[in-house]
Structure 1
Amino acid sequence: MSYTSSSAERADVYTRITAEIVAAIEAGAGEWRMPWHHDGTAITRPQNVSSGNRYRGVNVLALWIAAQAHGYADGLWGTYRQWLAIGAQVRKGERGTTVVLWKQAKAAANDDADDGNDDVRRRVFARAFTVFNVAQVDGYEPQVIEQLPEIDRLTHVGEFIDALKIPIVTGNYNAHYRIDTDTIFMPDYAAFTSAAAQAGTLIHEAAHATGAKHRLDRNFQERFKHDWLPIEEATAELTASFILADLGVAHHPRPDHAAYVASWLRLLKDDPRAIFTAASKAQQAADWMHAQQPRTGEMAA
């Protein structure tokens, strides 16, 4: 486990994680398979062995990449000490995966002055941890969790989307969200190869809708200028992946996103923080969707 405090060390964390994401995108570009596509199995739910909490934001993406690269079949992770605390042992020579925990702390406007000034400013500290998958340890037997049949999971997806109360029109359309009418337009069901593909597309468009001013008021144009659309698309894709993983449904590649691959790669190489921003906004969108549900599901901190 390591602690990252200086700006140089934080920049290194950005660079390392982004480099892994770039490599994964480049590896899957030929089949339009991005590191956030998954098959809906347990690996898609990265979870901490000690707290039971699910990892969030860019950490989900980093752990997905590591799991896919090494063939891990379970999404259970923990630090060396966390595994040790429950009687398990990370095998010698195993290489861990970096995840990042952000913490906010209040600091006085002038740390050197003791003048009774109550003005405070917030500092954000990045703590980088090395975690290991359950497949990398001895002495621990993961619990087997039975998954609902696919038909039940897909039914739940429909109920989940209905609870968002975003208007949806189906017909002879390409899938898109219109912000001026706050409406999602979808092709007929026959246009999709599977129910999971339809669900993924619909949640992707719903993710765009979360950015509307009366919802999360998401606006990338000020920071990313002409690159705002690729980063918005990446955010919608990540949101769909997070939600589909929560619901146990596969997230398949979409060939129509091939046009964004080059833009994503260029943007990530130019700005190592871009994917952190997209993942953070995607997590906010996923949280908003969960908050609209009639019953609060299990959500991670």
Structure 2
Amino acid sequence: MARTERTDIHQSVTDRIIRELEAGTVPWVCPWSRTKCGIALPRNAATDRAYSGINILMLWGSVEMQGFCTQKWLTFRQAHAQGGNVRKGEKGTTVFYADRFTPKSEAGSDEPRQIPFLKRFTVFNVDQCENLPESMVAPTAPLPEREIVPHAEALMTETGADIRVGGDRAFYAPDADFIRVPPQQSYFNQIDWYRTVFHEIGHWTGAESRLSRTFGRRFGDHAYAAEELVAEMTSAFVCAELQIEPTVRHADYIGNWLELLKADKRAIFTAASAASAAAQYIFSSSTRQPSVEDVASAA
């Protein structure tokens, strides 16, 4: 029974992501262009901890579909604990928590086998609640671009990545371990340069000496598509924390991502989890490091 439920979770979430991609909607970008919600990672309103992994995509998707004005979320009990309540008739959003259990048959063994699984629970956007403290429902004022840029510059420096400016292509060279990006003046909008840099820093985190991800070697293979998916989401997660509007750098990869997701129902969970880990790694040397509410990794 538990195995069937796990399969349903992975398949249902993957099917939703596939539908969105086939409709031309990229789940880690769309909320910013079609809603009045501010740019941010989704956070638990009671703990101020950011959600992570696949939960970011699930919650961003709900913000986009339902037009919420905030990225703050609460469980039913948390709303009551804050003196408020969820409005009658409101439907929550399902998020996931990754956990493991040890089969009873192996409980006494020297190295018991642990089986990963996903727990479901429901959260509600603050817009779906009432009678909450004003501080909890007040929107976060967006930063002007002149204040975002110094934060982005500082974060780039704090990572310690070897970033070389020049040429007309952006790439990460894994063998030599450096990033190459064109000069800022070659971009129509300055902020686009930072989106590009954080995409390449996303690749940089995958080096063996860091998070040790497997890089694909050619366009079109599944490992290559998966790594590009991780880098795209890493950039989106980092940009959201910096209040930079995420965009799709490589729309031509969408076909490869669809092929990957259709072949492996756990791929989006794995990629989102890896992207959250990469974003955490990038922020690990920074004073802006976000606290994380949960990680729904591939189970």
- TM > 0.5 between the two? yes
Q: Which residue of 1 aligns with 2:265?
A: 272
TM-score after normalising by structure 2: 0.87
Residue of 79, 100, 113 corresponding to 1:104: 100
Q: Which residue of 2 aligns with 1:137?
A: 129
Question: How far does the alpha carbon of each residue in 1:107-131 deviate from its partner, in whole angstroms, 9 at most, with x for none?
Answer: 56624xx6xx433222323110121
Counterparts in 2 of 1:214-293, with a 5 A limit?
Answer: 214-219=209-214, 226-254=221-249, 257-293=250-286
**Alignment of 1:205 onto 2:197:** no
The Cα of 1:260 is off from its aligned counterpart by 0.9
Aligned residue type for 2:97: L
The Cα of 1:187 is off from its aligned counterpart by 1.2
CA distance in 1, matches of 2:257, 2:61: 16
Residue of 77, 80, 84 corresponding to 1:81: 77
Stretches of structure 2 lacking an aligned partner (at least 5 in a row): 294-299
Q: Aligned residue pairs: how many?
A: 284
- 8 Å CA contact 1:49–1:83 kept in 2: the answer is no
% identical equivalent positions: 34
Cα distance change, pair 259–298 in 1 and its aligned pair in 2 (3 A): closer
Residue of 118, 128, 139 corresponding to 1:126: 118
TM-score after normalising by structure 1: 0.86
- 8 Å CA contact 1:164–1:289 kept in 2: the answer is yes
Deviates more, 1:70-79 or 1:45-54: 45-54
CA distance in 2, matches of 1:153, 1:34: 24
Residue of 10, 13, 21 corresponding to 2:17: 21
The Cα of 1:291 is off from its aligned counterpart by 1.3
- 8 Å CA contact 1:94–1:136 kept in 2: the answer is yes
Stretches of structure 1 lacking an aligned partner (at least 5 in a row): none
- 8 Å CA contact 1:15–1:272 kept in 2: the answer is yes
Counterparts in 2 of 1:43-192, with a 5 A limit?
Answer: 44-106=40-102, 110-111=106-107, 117-140=109-132, 141=134, 142-192=137-187
Aligned residue type for 1:271: D
Cα distance change, pair 128–43 in 1 and its aligned pair in 2 (3 A): farther
The Cα of 1:179 is off from its aligned counterpart by 0.8
CA RMSD of aligned residues (A): 2.3
The Cα of 1:9 is off from its aligned counterpart by 0.8
CA distance in 1, matches of 2:28, 2:202: 15
- 8 Å CA contact 1:174–1:187 kept in 2: the answer is yes
